[in-house]
Amino acid sequence: MSAVPIAVAFHSLFCFHGSDESDSEPYLWCIGFSLGGRNITHAPDAPRLSGSPEFFFSPGSHGSIGGPMGIGANRIIPPSVGRFNTTLEPIVLNAAGRTIEVPGTVGLIGILLEEDATSDEGADAAHAAINELVRIEMQEALDDISMAGVGAEVLQAMAAGKSPEAAASAIFEGRVDRLVQRIQRYARSTAVDAIVSKLSFPGAIVEGADPDEFLGVSVNIFNLADLDQTTHTQRREIADRITQPEVHPEASDFNYNIHGEAWRRVEKFTTPITDQVPPGRRQVTGINRQGRPPRLFIAHLGGRFADGSPWLLTRGQVMNMLSAKTHTFFVRGESGAEADVIIQPDPFNPQFPSVTTVADNDPSNNLGRLPQCPLAIDHLRPAD
């Protein structure tokens, strides 16, 4: 699988109500990370993986998303704070005598706090401590993966009829899940401890009385399979409620919604399939139907040239070629036999004949069983 450009971003924060009776001053730390084949590798017979996760750490603390917010306010999160761009490739493992590709993983963590009396120095120290917590936890989780254990689980999965890729992916997903739980468990205490350790006299008197408040964490993890159908215009939504834990949102001292998206940084475009089919004998491998049940009719027939490139003809073009005797078309049945395509008059509508195949010994409906053929060629190109 080739490298895939990915983006994951928090783009807005909605305030139902903040911690303060008047305007609140939330600020946001964001941490992006990726685990992929660009930065993590495995040499054959090596007991461990090599490399480190890729990280993005947002800048700033106080005022990072623009200052005070009132009830019902919606704040756009600057891309420099909330957006992580990366490129994902599968991690290639050598386990159980096989080469296995594990989909790359990307994540974005958002940590929301309320500015009170903590100094800028204290908030920045807490920010640095959180960043270091995530960096250490992720590296330890990666270093702790035993390839011997991966190989054993792959063999067990294969014995149970499962794919080795599914077994290896489950191991990585389990590590990431446990990592997320640890980060959510320790993020609050890490931030608070850092704030307290950096208090200075006489500022400690003020800060100790009303330190910044840790509000909550939003963690969002995606692998390549999760984002396979996304594009620049078709994105996967992120929506997280941040309130006091185990308290109904309406009873919480604060209540925010953080919104974002994850997507492949590509756009889809199409090019037409050629209808320039040189004379000769052509196999039909797909059809396109139009109309409404029960009056569905074949509108297009398609196939492939010897080089694998597709061709597509309307039913009318096929009938004209058959009438001119410049082309013949056939369908290969399930038995392997070839059945020629012919023109079939419609006794109820003589002006609109159709196409069918000659009667043969194959009981299957030769044209009717063919899959839907594409009407254009899909392409992807980079887009930001």
- Per-residue pLDDT band for 200 (boundaries 50, 70, 90) equals very low
* pLDDT > 90 in the chain, percent: 49
How do residues 257-304 score in pLDDT, each as one tens digit?
999 999 999 999 999 999 999 999 999 999 999 888 777 789 999 999
| DSSP codes joined into one string, 341-375 | EEEE--TT-TTS-EEEE---S--S-TTTTSPBPPS
Quick one: CA dihedral 29, 58, 197, 69, positive or negative? negative
How do residues 4-41 score in pLDDT, each as one tens digit?
999 999 999 999 998 877 789 999 999 999 999 999 99
Q: Whose CA is closest to 366, among 249, 276, 287?
A: 287
How do residues 59-83 score in pLDDT, each as one tens digit?
999 999 998 999 999 999 999 999 9
According to the model, what pLDDT value does residue 208 have? 45
Unique residue bearing structure tokens 């997507």? 263
Question: Is the pLDDT at 187 greater than 90, yes or no?
Answer: no
- C-alpha dist (Å) from residue 312 to 251, 355, 372, 381: 62, 15, 12, 24
DSSP H/E element including 127? helix 120-143
According to the model, what pLDDT value does residue 196 have? 53
- Per-residue pLDDT band for 247 (boundaries 50, 70, 90) equals confident
Question: Is the pLDDT at 121 greater than 70, yes or no?
Answer: yes
Query: Tell me, what amino acid is at 351?
Result: Q
Could you give the CA distance from residue 1 to residue 223 in angstroms, rounded to a whole number?
13
Question: Is the pLDDT at 202 greater than 60, yes or no?
Answer: no
According to the model, what pLDDT value does residue 204 have? 39
Q: Provide the mean pLDDT of the chain.
A: 87
According to the model, what pLDDT value does residue 206 have? 39
Quick check: pTM over 0.95? no
- Per-residue pLDDT band for 203 (boundaries 50, 70, 90) equals very low
